[in-house]
Chains A and B, each alone.
Chain A
Amino acid sequence: MAVMKSDVATTSDEYRRNESAYRARVEDLHRRRAAAMAGGPERARKLHKERKQLLPRERIAALMDPGSPFLEFGQLAGEGMHEGVPPGASIITGVGVVSGRPCMIIANDATVKGGTYYGITCKKHVRAQHFAWKHRLPCITLVQSGGANLPDQPGIFPDEGQFGSIFYNQVRMSGEGIPQIAIVHGPSTAGGAYMPALCDETVIVRNQGAMFLGGPQLVYAATKEEVGVEELGGGEMHSRVSGVTDHLAENDSHAIAITRDIVANLGDIPQQRWQVAEPRPPRFDPRDIYGLISADPRVPTNNRDIIARLVDGSEFHEFKPLYGDTLITGFARIMGFEIGIVCNNGVLFSESALKATHFIDLCCKRGIPLLFMADVTGFMVGREAEEGGISKNGAKMITAMASADVPKYTLIIGNSYGAGYMSMCGRPMKPDAMMMWPNGRSAIMGPDQAANTLAMVRDEAHKREGTSWTEAEREAYRAPVRQQFEDFANAYNFARNIWCDMVIDPLETRNVMALLLDLAGRLPQRQTRVGVLRM
């Protein structure tokens, strides 16, 4: 395959400026991750350890096979949303290998507000389930949660995608033969009790885990019956008397050992159906990406140089290189996995959209997964564009992309604005996973455009009412709008709201893609049924 050409002056001032700016971004990412990994406050963690319990990340590490990678979803969810809740929203979700089989692990963190569910916690749990469902990954839930965080009721109780969906997803996945397993590590009341009760196989820890629809206090209030926690819903009772749980463990680690045995008996592990080549590093050093990504959002990055640093051997079979060249399309391998890349390199024109439509169709016919690398401010506007039918051509691209039933991944490597976000497989288009680099930005429009647009609306109002405002007043109006859009567009805002699954260092991209693609390649191929393409 053709090796890309990509000569970069790594000694230029611009490169150095970019690089140092990017290093600062990565350090910032590390700081946020460290806060997520620490979990709850020191005091709570100490108390947890004193009770001879493992911390949630320790439980996960013990559960996974030694040396297993852990691909975490929503690591920075809820960052800064609730007082005293570190990034992660009191729950840890991610894929790791258990007894030789990749599983979705969902662990409550009891050191954060007792492991209670906020709205964002529900969303993270449900998102993990959706990923597991799509990839037919067994779900192992490590339950230790005080249940719903009551003041956040609107985000938890009434709607689809909230707490109740956890149950629904468990039931439906179980129905489809996707194993649902739980360990009850702590008291689980009401909704918390249903989570393990709705599992295929459940482990409970003696004198530690408990399950009941109503706790002792509620029972007393309701019926005046006096009963202790262990009697009412302890491991011994549920494993011997009620039969609610299937395995009784002596402590956390014993429970985890039992769970590993459960996973070891789930039948055959699905086989990889793709022919994966020997992974080869890119010929060009991926570390250059730091210096290549423009630190100034108004100066575009040459994304062909970026592709050359992400694909095996920097080998890229480009499709239609001479046509619609603001969009790069082509085939490559990442860590041995074949993939079709759709990557912006400027504004989307009709030709770019048509090329994308053609290329996505090729990938669907060939069963090759798609990676959308978004760096786009939007579709071209103007009379020429409209006359050229950019609306219907953009529609073709969106139809092809949304219809494509091959594994799809979105990586926002720069801007992803407006209809560009949609057509480059933004979150609403349900990519199998969506990642952002720390410099990634996404919003309806760019901050300047938003400020200008809103200022123009007000200009119109002034004109209608015969009033006017000074340039200083106009700028004073624009500045906060610009700031608001900038804050909104930030990758961490997307991560906080789980609008993306993860913010990753560009240097992690190849590994993340490999882990994702391996999971996708163990599923049967699906037939793409394309919506009507407006000709």
Chain B
Amino acid sequence: MFDKILIANRGEIACRIARTCARLGVAAAGVHSAADAEALHVKAIGESIAIGGAAASDSYLRIDAVIEAAKTTGAQAIHPGFGFLAENAAFARAVEAAGLVFIGPTPDVIERLGDKALAKQEADAAGVPIIPGSTTPSEDKTEVERIVREIGLPVMLKAAAGGGGKGMRVVSTFDGLGDDIESAMREAKNAFGSAGLIVEKLIPQGRHIEIQILGDGQGNVVHLFERECTLQRRHQKVIEEAPAANLPASLRDRMAADAVRLGKRLNYRGAGTVEFILQDGTYYFLEVNPRLQVEHPVTEMITGLDIVELMLRIACGEGLPLTQDQITCAGHAVEARICAEDPANNFLPATGDIVHVSFPAGDVRVETGVESGSVVTPYYDSMLAKLIAFAPTRDEALDRLRAALEATAIFGVTTNQAFLARLLDWPATRAATFHTRSIDENIGQLTASSQESDREALALGGCFWMLRQRETAARDPWRARDLTGWHMAAGDAGLSPIPELHLTTAGHSAEIRFAPMRPDGAMTVGVNDDEVTVRLEPLGDDRFTAVVGSRREVVRIRQEHDAIFVHDGRGVHAMQALPYLSYISASAEVSGELRAPMTGMILKVNVAVGDKIKTGDVAAVLESMKMELRIASEVDGVVAAVNCRAGETVERNAVVVVVEPQPS
């Protein structure tokens, strides 16, 4: 076994790899960017080398710096984790050239699998069924268009150099096909450095089943059963499980045998995943991911194996310590990915300071890359943590995951927790009647925010804010909580004549009024024109029993500066609290200032000073977190100023375009 390895990654996976190292007595060193100096993985690993600026291209993607870090720290091998350099053949080559061990497949295999077209050819050659479509990448727009028309709709455009669900685009209409291809090529070019696309017949109602394989590089390949990752949002896996639900054993055996055969053909070394799409009992090869997968823990849970340990053993030449017969599977594991993103706002990545995070103890496996005080920057992937529940049956595992999700509190950045919770409650999830586009087809239903629950959360947040203004057991009645808002009652609710608080949550804002506190501690809170009567009974720390009508619910509420976080059964509602007086003193008239929703690079500016612009017209396009974000006008008017140009990086909230509002 190695004495010391370098973990060339960040976040939860770096922490997770470090844990196995510690258990095996292998020393570990890490790397970090300028933005990550205080990150959890740096502390978890214990030793870390600064390798450059915040942008991944200035740090985690810098081959020379990573190898230099390995040499500096005396590491013998480098574990790349996933993402960043994990599937970069040039990196693997450079590692070997530097006399170090790359914990993963050979550069040659990475190269062949990294090219979608080549991978498909390999699979075909190994006798693995492949999806009808092009087998060679093309950067020629007209050629791609021709192939699409040849295969027939619907099709999938894939960045040949892509992976991890990125750089894929579904085409289901010929309208705007040219634009779709152009945009896919631009994304591919930006994200993977090559605009080459391949075209595949779309399997519209397929399930995503993948087989975990391990090879020793000597021709021996075993599989660790399958995982199901059918619950995806725009090709991004959301919830993964192992084994797949209701998968006939014969089918699984065939898929596993195909995966192993492909692995053997490649003389595969290390851990890899062969992905298939399954529909109506027929499956096709998708791709091989030559690395550790995000969702590897579910396989670990059902097999009792540590895949990172096996990767280390293979890499250091110990070979495969297990034969296929020795690998068994029992029980059911489900994983949910908690990401800093805002489901109410088209899953826009969220950034900010995590003021508080707490995970459930026991009963669930937690893989986290953040802790209280961590900062979520716009530079990297938005995944914060994974929760993995394991139980004898699928239902129990889902229940456990649901409970664990509820017990997880992350305050400070918007997360997809409520979306995950709703997804776990979804009948299609429970019954496993989903396909890879189920979430996308039902996204409205799955993300619809109930106005009532928003209202209640605002009322609770408002009530909490008011209680904080007042003293708990003060003997001074002017400040005592019991006399909050007391005045000579006139028989009505007695709401204050003017709002006392302005709360802003994702998407909307509310003016909050308060009625005097009742003798039983209940308080009627006016949320805009509605009234909600709530009572908060403190349970210690940030926990309260919230009483709303006949319902009692344990919630967590915290305040950090102006931010209030209400964590109820529907997730965390983050709200910005501004005393009304400050709010009305500060609020300007409606302006036509268009601001950057997050820090990023301006891709395109569509307007010039003097242009007429209508509500909804896109004034500029911003690229951030590998996404194209449109900055649209909220008013009709004339462009008065353009403060940005294409290629320029702008800060979050920077005013990029100013529109002089004019009625059309």
Contacts and interface: CB of A to CB of B under 8 A. Distances in A.
A254 B475 contact: no
Scoring B466, B470, B475, B582 by chain A CB atoms within 10 A of each residue's CB, the highest score goes to B475
Contacts of A97: 478-479
Nearest to B477: A514
B585 A70 contact: no
Contact of A67 (B492, B514, B581, B585): B514
Interface string A275-290: 0111100000000000
Interface in B458-498: 466, 469-470, 473, 475-480, 482-492, 496-498
A72 B488 contact: yes
A69 B475 contact: no
B580 interface: yes
Contact of A66 (B475, B477, B514): B514
A54 B466 contact: no
Contact of B585 (A68, A75, A257, A272): A257
Contacts of B490: 30-31, 33-34, 37
Contact of A69 (B487, B500, B501, B579): B487
A475 interface: no
B498 A61 contact: yes
A296 to B, nearest CB: 25
Contact of B487 (A70, A276, A278, A336): A70
A61 B497 contact: yes
Interface in A495-513: 502, 504-505, 508, 511
The dominant DSSP class at the B interface is: loop
B496 A253 contact: no
A424 B164 CA distance: 86
B497 A511 contact: no
A279 B514 CA distance: 24
B584 interface: yes
Interface string A52-85: 0011011001100111111110010000000000
A69 B581 contact: no
Nearest to A275: B475
Contacts of A276: 475-476
Contact of B484 (A37, A67, A254): A67
Contacts of A504: 488
A511 B489 contact: no
A278 B487 CA distance: 22
Contacts of B482: 279
A256 interface: yes
Interface of A: 26-27, 30-31, 33-34, 37, 54-55, 57-58, 61-62, 65-72, 75, 97, 102, 251, 253-254, 256-257, 260, 272, 276-279, 335-336, 502, 504-505, 508, 511, 514-515, 518
Given A61-B498, A66-B466, A254 B491 contact: no
Nearest to B491: A30
Nearest to B473: A278
B497 A69 contact: no
Contact of B500 (A66, A272, A335): A66
Given A31-B491, A33-B488, 15 more contacts: A30-B489, A62-B580, A66-B514, A67-B470, A67-B485, A67-B500, A67-B514, A69-B486, A70-B487, A70-B488, A72-B488, A257-B585, A502-B488, A508-B489, A511-B483
Given A66-B469, A257-B582, A257-B585, A33 B497 contact: no
B584 A253 contact: yes
A263 to B, nearest CB: 13
Contact of B491 (A27, A278, A279): A27
A256 B581 contact: yes
A511 B486 contact: yes
A57 B497 contact: yes
A57 B480 CA distance: 22
A339 to B, nearest CB: 14
Contact of B477 (A30, A69, A505): A69
A469 to B, nearest CB: 47
Contacts of A251: 585
A62 B581 contact: yes
A353 to B, nearest CB: 33
A58 B514 CA distance: 13
Interface of B: 466, 469-470, 473, 475-480, 482-492, 496-498, 500-501, 514, 579-582, 584-585
Contact of A72 (B473, B484, B487): B487
Contacts of A54: 498
A336 B585 contact: no
Contacts of B491: 26-27, 30-31, 33-34
A68 B478 contact: yes
Given A62-B581, A69-B477, A256-B581, A515 B487 contact: no
B520 to A, nearest CB: 11
Contacts of A254: 585
A517 to B, nearest CB: 8
Given A61-B496, A67-B484, A256-B581, A511 B470 contact: no
B489 A335 contact: no
Contacts of B479: 97
B469 A67 contact: yes
Contact of A278 (B475, B484, B488): B475
A448 to B, nearest CB: 33
A504 B490 CA distance: 11
B498 A70 contact: no
A54 B478 CA distance: 25
Scoring B478, B484, B489 by chain A CB atoms within 10 A of each residue's CB, the highest score goes to B478
Contacts of B480: 279
A97 B478 CA distance: 7
A257 B492 CA distance: 29
Contacts of A75: 488
Nearest to A59: B498
B483 A58 contact: no
A66 B579 contact: yes
Contacts of A102: 478
Contacts of A336: 475
Contacts of A514: 477, 483
Contacts of B580: 62
19 contacts: A26-B491, A33-B489, A54-B498, A57-B497, A65-B469, A66-B579, A67-B466, A69-B478, A69-B484, A71-B487, A72-B487, A102-B478, A253-B584, A256-B581, A257-B585, A260-B581, A279-B477, A279-B482, A518-B477
Contacts of A68: 478, 485
Contacts of B497: 37, 55, 57-58, 61
B485 A69 contact: yes
A58 B498 contact: yes
B486 A70 contact: yes
B195 to A, nearest CB: 55
Nearest to B492: A34
Contacts of B477: 69, 279, 335, 511, 514-515, 518
Given A57-B497, A62-B580, A69 B492 contact: no
B141 to A, nearest CB: 57
Contacts of B469: 65-67
B500 to A, nearest CB: 5
A61 B485 CA distance: 10
Which 9 A-B residue pairs are closest in the complex by CB-CB distance?
Answer: A30-B491, A69-B486, A276-B475, A514-B477, A58-B498, A33-B490, A34-B490, A67-B484, A70-B487
Nearest to B466: A67
A66 B470 CA distance: 8
Contacts of B579: 66
Contacts of A26: 491
Nearest to A69: B486
A253 B488 contact: no
Nearest to B487: A70
B267 to A, nearest CB: 71
Scoring B487, B579, B584 by chain A CB atoms within 10 A of each residue's CB, the highest score goes to B487
Scoring B475, B488, B497, B580 by chain A CB atoms within 10 A of each residue's CB, the highest score goes to B488
Contacts of B585: 251, 253-254, 257
Contacts of A69: 477-478, 483-487
